[in-house]
């Protein structure tokens, strides 16, 4: 049970690490357009991210697939920037199921990329471990729990801005997406590979 809490807390703190805020930025821009009434869709998006993250960690931990760290460090902020730009262009527009499909693809991609970005550290932790799959599950549960905390905070802020301060949903999405874009562009340029 002690090992469970160790890896659970590692996953939980991984998302909420103030020095590595890319997770929070991505989740914020991902759920900005949703309300609590759409909790099933939000849960699906957040869980899809966790699945992608753990899949790439497993591929790296079992020495199946590796990527150049510079490419991964570039793709992480790129996926956040693309999601923010996508929100800016689709805010307030009825795009049918297209928007959801694009967000699902971006979320899985971001999860995969971010997992590879964390794989070196995870591989050091799992070196000599008897059950890497169990470690991944415990870590994934921590990630999922912390992402739900971030989602809850974003939804509360959304409710405050839209209900009490009378922001339209479109304006809320534009503001969150613009803030995330502004915070992500320096990360992208700092990790530019071209």
Please state, in angstroms and rounded to a whole number, the distance separating the CA atoms of residues 167 and 32: 13
The pLDDT of residue 95:
62
User: What confidence tens digit (pLDDT) does each residue in 68-85 have?
Assistant: 889 999 999 999 999 999
Please state, in angstroms and rounded to a whole number, the distance separating the CA atoms of residues 179 and 15: 19
User: What confidence tens digit (pLDDT) does each residue in 167-192 have?
Assistant: 999 999 999 999 999 999 999 999 99
Please state, in angstroms and rounded to a whole number, the distance separating the CA atoms of residues 179 and 169: 15
Please state, in angstroms and rounded to a whole number, the distance separating the CA atoms of residues 119 and 162: 39
Res. 11: pLDDT tops 70: yes
Contact, 87 vs 177, CB < 8 A?
Answer: yes
**Structure tokens belonging to residue 118:** 């964390």
The pLDDT of residue 180:
97
Q: Coil, helix or strand for 142?
A: helix
User: What confidence tens digit (pLDDT) does each residue in 15-43 have?
Assistant: 888 887 888 999 999 899 888 888 888 88
Contact, 35 vs 154, CB < 8 A?
Answer: no
The pLDDT of residue 134:
86
The pLDDT of residue 82:
92
The pLDDT of residue 175:
95
Long-range Cβ contacts of 163-170 (<8 Å, 24+ apart): 168/92, 169/33, 169/35, 169/92, 170/91, 170/92
Kindly report the length of the chain.
194
Query: Domain boundaries in the chain?
Result: 2-190
The pLDDT of residue 1:
61
**Structure tokens belonging to residue 155:** 């939804």
User: What confidence tens digit (pLDDT) does each residue in 43-70 have?
Assistant: 898 889 888 988 998 898 888 988 888 9
User: What confidence tens digit (pLDDT) does each residue in 128-160 have?
Assistant: 777 888 888 888 889 889 989 999 999 999 999
pTM here? Answer: 0.87
The pLDDT of residue 92:
77
């Amino acid at each position: 049970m002690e090992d469970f809490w160790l890896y659970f807390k590692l996953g939980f703190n991984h998302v909420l690490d103030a020095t590595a805020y890319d997770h929070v930025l991505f989740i914020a821009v991902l759920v900005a357009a949703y309300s609590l009434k759409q909790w099933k869709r939000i849960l699906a998006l957040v869980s899809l991210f966790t699945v992608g993250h753990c899949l790439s960690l497993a591929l790296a931990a079992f020495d199946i697939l590796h990527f150049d760290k510079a490419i991964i460090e570039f793709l992480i902020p790129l996926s956040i920037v693309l999601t923010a730009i996508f929100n800016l262009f689709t805010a307030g527009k009825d795009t049918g199921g297209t928007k959801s499909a694009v967000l699902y693809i971006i979320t899985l991609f971001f999860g995969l990329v971010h997992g590879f970005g964390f794989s070196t550290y995870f591989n050091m932790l799992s070196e000599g471990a008897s059950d890497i799959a169990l470690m991944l599950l415990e870590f994934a549960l921590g990630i999922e729990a912390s992402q739900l905390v971030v989602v809850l905070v974003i939804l509360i802020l959304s409710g405050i801005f839209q209900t009490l301060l009378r922001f339209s949903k479109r304006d809320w999405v534009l503001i969150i997406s613009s803030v995330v874009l502004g915070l992500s562009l320096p990360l992208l340029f700092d990790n530019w590979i071209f």
